[in-house]
A = this chain, B = another copy of it.
Amino acid sequence: MSAAVGLDARLTDDHHESLRLWLRLLTCSNLIENHVRKALAAQFKTTLPRFDLMAQLERAPQGLQMGELSRRLLVTGGNVTGIVDQLERAGLLLRAEDPADRRAYLVKLTKEGRRQFAQMASAHESWIVKLFSGLSVREQRALNESLSSLRAQLTRKTP
């Protein structure tokens, strides 16, 4: 795998065990994310940033202001306005006046957007289930516990 080869280059033998752990975590994350990107392209001709944006809107049926949407998508990067424009042209979302703030507008999924997102989310779940299916229930549980603990640590340490 080129991903694994590439990332291992950050490592030399005498580096600390934490570094080895981080590169292993990053490699797993990248392998899964690359798989999801390819599957979204192949099966739905869409991208991960579009999928993530639609996921945010699906969870906010009342709609989101652009600023809030950008804030929630911060971690995936991507040009939020550009993606909103594309999805609006495709009829998957719409802009509506915000009844609570006449200077702003809200972005929401259309009915067709919700329908398409439901199909993608279901496929996405099945890809992930398949990717993790080689781990036993015991292994999945152990990994889940370790990651919960790590996440708790990270959210305390990261500003």
Contact = CB atoms under 8 A, between A and B. Distances in A.
Contact of A72 (B2, B15, B71, B150): B2
Interface of A: 1-7, 9-10, 12, 15-22, 24-35, 52, 55-56, 58-59, 71-76, 121, 124-125, 128-135, 139-140, 142-158
Contact of A33 (B1, B26, B146): B26
15 contacts: A1-B155, A6-B56, A16-B128, A18-B131, A25-B28, A26-B33, A28-B154, A31-B151, A31-B155, A32-B154, A131-B157, A134-B150, A142-B145, A143-B150, A146-B146
Nearest to A122: B15
A6 B128 contact: no
B155 A17 contact: no
A149 B147 CA distance: 14
B151 A24 contact: yes
